[in-house]
Structure 1
Amino acid sequence: MHHTIAFYNVENLYQSRNNRNSSILKLPFQGHRTWSFSRYKNKLAKIAKVISNIGKEETQKLPTFFGLCEIENKNVIDDLLEEFPFKANYGYIHKDSLDERGIDTAFFYDKEFFTVHDSEFIRIPIFNSDGSRDFTRDITYAKGNLESNPIHFFVLHLPSQRENNINLSKRIYILHALRKKINEVFDKDEKANIVILGDFNENPVTNYLYQELWCKKTIQELKTRELYNPFEELYRNNQYSTFHEGKGMLFDQIIFSKTFYDENNSLRFNQSKIFNIPVLQNKDRGKLGTPWRTYSGSRYLGGYSDHFPVYAIIEAIQ
């Protein structure tokens, strides 16, 4: 059976101020950028519809797994799942992080196909150049069985490239710490099935992604404990998930352990894609092909997100 693994940066999915469940919020919207309940509900419906269609053409069903980033809290997650068609039977793993913007990562799974055995929220302390503590998103970890096959997931959202890329060393440090966690998994099972999905705030050809995560540029080079990033090929073919000042970038990626490329493994990689169907794209002249985002500066656009979702199809061999 084929299964979809998706990842979506949903661009500041906060509750509205007048949502009855709202607590003290860290909304970035001020003055004429007011975030209302109707805009919140509109965005929820849009995001839910997008997710429910990712990989549907290939698998004829909802995604078995998906990771999200830039979500505010559990209330937002529960509201989002209420929007799903047919009340899909999703479970999720989430915990509020210490991120300064109040946004988190979360992992979702279809209970029909996946059973969770363990989970963890990996909080990696990082610091600014002056020694002060910085706060970013936790890495969400989940371990379980997909149709009796053990599989491990890591969902991340690395620090951004703002202000002359001052967060570069922080991204490297977090990936280095993540690789230690991956090694712990491999210490217990050298044939572990591992998937890393997230917004890396770097393109897949960046050298330190190879170095810190032990990625190889070709499948043929792969050895035990090494990883492969199929989104590198998409990037080299000028396919992007987000844009900045007209420049395309593929920050959103899904990376796999060597096992998914072994012929005798019961879980196998099939294909990877960017979900950039026309309805998700900006219709403004000069911005055609870019994501239809919720806000552009101070202007409310009413779109989906400033990122396209990405996804991969894997096959579970009986």
Structure 2
Amino acid sequence: MNDNLLEKTIAAIEPADAAVREEARHYIDTLTMPRRALGRLLDLAEELAAMTRTLRFPTARKEIVLMAGDHGIVRQGVCPQPSSVTTQMVRNFVHGGGGINVLARVAGAHVTVVDMGVDSDLSDLVDAGAVIDCKIAPGTADFSIGPAMSREQAVRSLEAGIRIAERLAPEVDVFATGEMGIGNTSPSSAVVTVLSGADDPAPFVGRGAGLDPAKLAHKAAVIRRGIACNSPDPADGIDLLAKVGGFEIGGIAGVVLGAARMRKPVVIDGFISSAGALVAAVLAPASRDYMILGHGSAEPGHVAMARLLGKQPLLDLGMRLGEGTGAALALQLLDAARAIMTEMATFESANVTEEGLK
């Protein structure tokens, strides 16, 4: 393990380049269309230019990092599925049968599956090179009665994500986040509740993987109890992660931090991925500059997450699958933004009269 990897990574993250953003804006104004006629696609192009420090930003090599882990909070009856489904779905991903596999193929993206804390033996998949082993422990503790993990485990999960980003970076233009972990909407709801300064998690608690609406009040009560007994510090991302988070949430936060340090865009998926992004933002506010919020999750707490991140989702399709599926769809918009910047004619090159289109 690299000494002080987390601290060194945070210290090395620089804001996106405002001068390059302005250069991109001026260049876009020379393209053969009415001013800002492609709306938010042009905003995206400017953001990508500022992140990468070039108007000809690359997007072809896309990597979806899917972090997997289990959660002790499941023992409190906050979700309808048992933790064993996490393992079953990881094996489904490895065989290419998950929703994320299908949509990644559409986007031309590769999926890397990482075991951050699955409560089963995945050594056969690790030995086959199908899963990367970063297991911190076989699932977190039940945060409704104590911390989800130790502070040392929280740092290990963050640094694991950073190392994954560093390992993959030479062959990656754009990162995206995904996850799998039965019960992980509960820690995600806890994270957004704490960072929102709210007394009641109920407005941020949703059905997750299909919870009966009648049991939502119980889920909210369990999360409320967990926040009360742990008193996580909203100004300390490590404390927040340790007390009410998850290993895969820490891994996602680490990927975001690693991508930001290397000036690579990272497309954030939905509710759980946004919890990881929020942890990263607490630790390194400048990392927000490298985040692109792929879609708006149907989970009720995601609106507050987007507000805390200062982001507007690229897509809003009423999705709540997770896995990185919303991010996979959004990746195609990054390709479109690059194409506009590299293939569209300027008024001068096309000999088009500029005044008539402004």
Question: Do the two structures share a fold, i.e. TM-score over 0.5?
Answer: no
- Which one has the bigger helix percentage? 2
TM-score (norm 2): 0.29
Look at both structures and tell me which one has the larger radius of gyration over its CA atoms: 2
